[in-house]
Amino acid sequence: MNSLNPWLVGVGLNSILLIVAWIIPKKLLTPAGLFHALVLGVLIWGTLGWQGYIVVMFYFLVGSFITRIGMAQKEAQGIAEKRSGARGPENVWGSALTGALCALGVWVTSSGILPTSQNQYPTPVTLLLLGYVASFSTKLSDTCASEVGKAYGKSTFLITTLQPVPRGTEGAVSLEGTLAGAIASLAQALLGWGVGLIDLLGVLWCVVAAFIATNLESVIGATLQSRFTWLTNEVVNILNTLIGASTAIFCAWIWANIIA
């Protein structure tokens, strides 16, 4: 029965939040998005408890807020997120699939018991926890870089050629967006450290991984996305978070086994 408690708490908590989200006038999720967010929320609470839940909620709330910055201007230019930023199922899993898989990996590997210390670093569990935090650090970095760049970027350049391009162009980068992305990834990683999921060195790996993955995502957008119909924004988001999580895990493994 004890092993079921986190899942029951997750169902109860997320059901209450779903009702609240359904009632409030400013919709952050579509009706279908609400259901998928409920599933994700239960899964994260059941596998990683409140620590993992705070990490994903921080991403969702900050990401939703950033998406709405300069919305009127971005809509007028035709570069705003669809549905005025309200997330659907494809957005939920495009952003969180990698993190959800890491969380499930932690739960299976650790039998639902999170490590109380990072001194055993790295183990499969600590590496998966790092991947979990890094995936959301990467996605928040990408969201903030994109949305701040579209709203406030004074000069935007195509990442592959450094030629000036209009705001909102796939693969475009800006100084303002890049700085916003770096700050966002640091904030997300520090939260992961604050709740005990990663250590301070893990914060560094998350920020490095987010920077690499966000820029690689821009390269994909500039070179491949228009060539393949299956390479939708949601698929690119999955690749982005997968690159971020994998890079952070690889950096931690290399540091622990070769450099240290």
Sign of CA dihedral 41, 43, 48, 50: positive
Query: One-letter amino acid identity for 8?
Result: L
User: What is the 8-class DSSP label of residue 255?
Assistant: I
Rounded distance between C-alpha atoms, residue 133 and residue 203, angstroms:
9
Cβ atoms of residues 247 and 212 within 8 Å: yes
Rounded to an integer, the average pLDDT of 93-109 is 95
pLDDT for position 76: 57
Reported as a single tens digit per residue, the pLDDT across 12-27 is: 999 998 888 888 866 6
Alpha-helical (H) ranges within the chain are 5-23, 31-67, 71-77, 89-110, 124-152, 175-194, 200-223, 233-254
**Owner of token pair 């998005």:** 33
Query: Can you give the C-alpha Rg of the chain in angstroms?
Result: 18
**Which of 64-73, 102-111, 118-127, 200-209 has maximum average pLDDT?**
200-209
Reported as a single tens digit per residue, the pLDDT across 213-259 is: 999 998 998 888 878 888 888 899 999 999 999 999 999 999 988 87
Residue 248 phi, psi (nearest 5): -65, -45
Query: One-letter amino acid identity for 92?
Result: V
Pick the more confident residue, 114 or 93.
93
Q: Is the pLDDT of residue 1 over 50?
A: no
The first and second tokens of residue 184, run together, are 């966002």
Cα→Cα distances 102→8, 172, 232, Å: 21, 30, 23
Pick the more confident residue, 237 or 88.
237
- Of the candidates 93, 112, 116, the one whose C-alpha atom is nearest the C-alpha of residue 103 is 112
Pairing of strands 172-174, 156-158: antiparallel
